[in-house]
Amino acid sequence: MENMITVRNLKKSFKTNHVLKGVNLDIQKGNIFALLGSNGAGKTTCVRILSTLTKADGGEATICGYNVFTQADDVRANISLTGQYAAVDEMLTGTENLELIASLKKVPNHKSIAQDLLDKVGLTDAGAKLAGEYSGGMRRRLDIAMSLVGNPKIIFLDEPTTGLDPQNRIAMWETVAKLAENGTTVLLTTQYLEEAEYLADRIAVLHNGTIIAEGTPDELKKLLPIGAIYLEFTHTEHKVQALTVLKDFTVTEGRKTLEIATDGSIKQLSHILNTLNDNEIPVARFTQNQPSLEDAFLTLIGEK
């Protein structure tokens, strides 16, 4: 697969605050790549450097084969950026906002382009309304539509669903997913783990200025070779008996429940259930839980 974004040893400091200490990234064509990190991790700084808005202190970066530092005009011609807050003109309608951007980018057929993009983000019926009358979710969708004017090859989305309610967040996810389906490469920054898991082909965890882990959501989860089995008992005495026969496991005790730490394997699950069965200890209900992306993220950044 063709790399659309390549980053090597990217560095940036603000006085004594070393935000990026050597970031490396490879993002392939048509992928949604999520840059995951806590507030202040440097996600926005990284995006601003790649979109030519902020100068780096060191390292190398290319966008569509163009050097970000020496060929900024060529880079800008191939990218679009949607920041954390919708940048729409509230005094213009949705259609007028899109036509304005098309005019500034010298894209022909303003009206047909505007209508096509409104259709693409689900705002067809709202095109004639003032953007100031839009809901937060509608503004974000219009913002993305404005980013699509001129068919950029790469879109940077910097925490695009910040402040949105669950319904509008899901609608935004669907819009972003369609972009990648049509071949657009997306670099997404987010602090929402469910957002990264839902959207991203690959995820990189940015912490203390460097990428500390990268992979698919499933690959990151597998970094934690642990799981848990939740056992629920009808009677407390059955729980006490289970504690005795499972004394070699790490167990967290509830009133009528046990949470047993495991290696996440079917073999260990079978061993636990067979042990209970052999000792005639009835279990009312059991569930198996594998590590979540949240577990992996919090463990990686030292919070769990």
Residue 193 has pLDDT above 80, yes or no: yes
User: Same domain, yes or no, for 35 and 118?
Assistant: yes
Residue 171 has pLDDT above 90, yes or no: no
- Mark which of 216, 242, 257 sits at the end of a domain: 216
- For 278-287, write each residue's pLDDT tens digit: 999 999 998 8
Looking at every residue in the chain, the average pLDDT score rounds to: 90
pLDDT of residue 162: 79
Q: Is 291 left (phi over 0), alpha (psi -120 to 50) or beta?
A: beta
User: Same domain, yes or no, for 82 and 169?
Assistant: yes
CB 48 within 8 A of CB 14: no
User: Same domain, yes or no, for 246 and 151?
Assistant: no
CATH number of the domain at 276, please: 3.30.70.980
User: Domain span at residue 293?
Assistant: 227-300
User: Same domain, yes or no, for 253 and 107?
Assistant: no
User: Same domain, yes or no, for 44 and 68?
Assistant: yes
pLDDT of residue 130: 96
Residue 100 has pLDDT above 90, yes or no: yes
User: Same domain, yes or no, for 243 and 144?
Assistant: no
pTM: 0.80
User: Same domain, yes or no, for 231 and 278?
Assistant: yes
- Mark which of 216, 246, 269 sits at the end of a domain: 216
Q: Does 221 map to a domain?
A: no
The pLDDT confidence band at residue 27, using thresholds 50, 70 and 90, is very high
User: Same domain, yes or no, for 62 and 119?
Assistant: yes
Q: Does 222 map to a domain?
A: no
Across residues 92-98, what is the average pLDDT? 95
CATH number of the domain at 17, please: 3.40.50.300
- For 121-146, write each residue's pLDDT tens digit: 889 999 999 999 998 889 988 998 99
Backbone φ, ψ for residue 244 (5° rounding): -70, -45
- For 57-90, write each residue's pLDDT tens digit: 999 999 999 999 999 999 999 999 988 777 899 9
pLDDT of residue 304: 60
- DSSP, collapsed to helix, strand or coil, labels residue 289 as strand
Encoded tokens for 87: 């940048």
Residue 192 has pLDDT above 90, yes or no: no
pLDDT of residue 225: 65
- In sequence order, the β-bridge partners of residue 213 are 205
Residue 32 has pLDDT above 90, yes or no: yes
Torsion (CA) 156, 162, 164, 165 in degrees, nearest 10: 120
- Mark which of 182, 216, 250 sits at the end of a domain: 216
Into how many domains does the chain fold? 2
